[in-house]
Amino acid sequence: MCRHLAWLGQPRSLASLVLEPPSSLLVQSYAPRRQRHGTVNADGWGVGFWAAGRTEPARWRTAQPLWGSASFASVAPVVSAGCVIAAVRSATVGMPLEESAAAPFTDGRWLLSHNGRVDRSVLPAARDAESTVDSALLASLVFARGLAALGATVTEVAAADPDARLNLLAADGTRLLATTWGDTLSVLVTDEGTALASEPWDDDPRWSDVPDRTLVEVTPDGVTCTPLTPLEPS
């Protein structure tokens, strides 16, 4: 459905994270290697990051394919950040193609990306959602419940919609949170920082796959993985 990544560590250019690796998000927008649902991710993209001296994240989003954004390609090499979330979108059938539907979503403090799908009927109405798409409604629910309850929110939504795929990435500028539920996620730990991604952006042997139904937390002190226990379907 989508591909996304997050980085926490020493500042890196957006180009080094999104455009330059051999299997970057740019490449994954037209030739993903591990995508189980859909074949291309051409229905929009977004990048969010924290600039030095700012408490709120900045975002760049569009409904156009990443490979068609010459302006981003020209700016990305000179913009660096130590906490980044980026995503390319493959829209669920019937969902609108609009900038506001592209991740990452925000509540002004957190950034959040959703790789997957969920039946909108199991999600509460949200006037503050950025779009009517399932991912935006899910993001609004997560923000309302609080990121401390991320694991519980995912298991409850999965119980209400057993066919949901709920891989989430979230960041607040100082840490990353993620869930795996129905799709792939890999982690890379280096001396410079830690990356989470739907699929590895290169063949570095330090990449490892995160088991399905796991809550992941990344801080400057390391990576913690906690199994998520399914609830009985409602």
List residues with catalytic annotation: 2
Residue 117 near residue 92, CB atoms below 8 Å = yes
* Residue 40, C-beta contacts closer than 8 angstroms, at least 6 positions apart: 29, 30, 31, 32, 90
* Distance from C-alpha of 127 to C-alpha of 141, rounded to nearest angstrom: 11
The two beta strands, 58-62 and 45-49, are antiparallel
Closest CA to 105 of 83, 124, 128, 122: 128
* Distance from C-alpha of 2 to C-alpha of 101, rounded to nearest angstrom: 12
Say which amino acid occupies 119: D
Residue 84 near residue 48, CB atoms below 8 Å = yes
Residue 172: φ, ψ to 5°:
-125, 15
Secondary structure (3-state) at 197: strand
